[in-house]
Structure 1
């Protein structure tokens, strides 16, 4: 059993290799015995990069992961998300017919000079084919036609894209079109692209298979999937490439080896060859250099949060399921973790309510971030208890103000 994160002094030993102790308020340090290379000794040429372990949510590598960048056709991953959601909710089916308007044909078809599935003007195309045109061929005509079918026009659809990723907890990415064509306000982050891709893989496994399709023929024109990882025999099965002048060359990819799935994001590279090489190097290094360590078991208490005006002054917090990390093999790295929440919580607090997040960092890398939930219900306390809590909060407020002045 591992030790919960608490605000009291002291520490408990889990094993010689893993010790959990309290650091400041609601914090902990994970110390791993042994020596070895530090994970971030790996260096990528990509200006933006993330490597994510899907099962644990561990970030194995990051570089400018939270900085806004131009997505180019990587935005089509969010376009696909909206379509998958519409199918799952029964508003569309794979047999639904999508019209190819003059706008979609002229702006995204063969006459546009960009990536296209060569859909015919004023034709109607099954959604199953539109999705292949969108994902395999990166067709702009498919993206625009899909946007018009779902939301009426592309600008409205882009707002839907942004709303849908916000609902997944992705707070920085903003979409202005369905294609990834240049727009000064359309920006994403590498971390959020990785999380979005992970969500699609886990939530829509059957539809996700389209991302691994090697080729697609439409209008008697056969085109190969633009994802170079699919041909490398490294277990890759998706996702998308992107390139416009403002973005450079980018790729979001995923691969599975020995039951482990990694998701890689690179962007801002100078050539298509560079993006292929950097993505492959990150994946191969990730599969080779890390091993799994369980930090908390199923139902274990991770820490506590203060409760204002409650029958109890604290509530224990736990994750949904066990908490594991991928750590460098044989490394002697120091991990820092803290529980972040807006507090103190105000009673009553219901069991199962999400009240905070566990953040684990390794140096400058935000290794893990998972939600934490109240493990029990804390009812409102007596009038006397609430008054005492209020006085303590006022006193604490005065101390904070004094510290700001000093």
Structure 2
């Protein structure tokens, strides 16, 4: 018999609150509409067609992904416009061609003249046309060419003249917005991101090459950009779910967090007033993004199973592979949380936390007590 409430689930299990998800999706959709840009949801965290359908409702229908496994999956589910938002490797192009033969258009990313030539060559060999964007470095220093570089123009020209490739535009991602601690700082990074993308597009156009798409990313900058003039689309992703880190950089509030993990108390260390739960590094991740934040919540914020907070804040302070250690504070004692007690953990970094799970157990905090399982949505993993 399938589980009917979160108290029937095997632990650890991944919980998704549909009501919060829908509110988060609506907030970003309204923001994109108000700022005059298309919304291309990045589904690298969601990895679920059920989440995707909600995210693209009322949008242009395009999505972004971070793995070819995701591209294959979403193409098989009928998504036709997919950006593979990581620099393509030439030996992946046969796989891309196979995905396109399912009827989907895959937009590729590169920051390399050499790879651009390989894309054109493989297109001729496979008799397939590849759609390509140039990745720009807007300050993070991870990948991408600079907007004033010679490589930018050379890549655009090669693609513009190719028989089996087309130049689609430019894209960038302000991942360093996660280092911001105030909205004012996010606004500055957002403007630098916008300026990088727009100036690169304008420079390409001055060299006689059309540049239709000007694409930027990042949940914080999409929300707080003062202006998106010259940008055509935004590609945020974590906004759908939120996490404790995003709550501390003002991308959401703790009440917006749609993802949590249900776990059980598995052991006590009464002499040290702490306990273990059966959710550790694999179930929660070892990401420590809140470590240097004003409110360090370790590896996750711990609440009662129904999501209600304890009087004294609780967190997972340490993780082992399959266990999480939780110190007890205030009036709480091990006797009050016997072995088998179910607890809910809101993640530090939801993208990492969700990665190990193959399904979402859906609840709805606007229905009853929010503990009833209303659906199970599959999700995929891998590359």
- TM-score, structure 2 length as denominator? 0.29
The structure carrying a bigger strand percent of its residues is 1
- Normalised by the size of structure 1, how large is the TM-score? 0.28
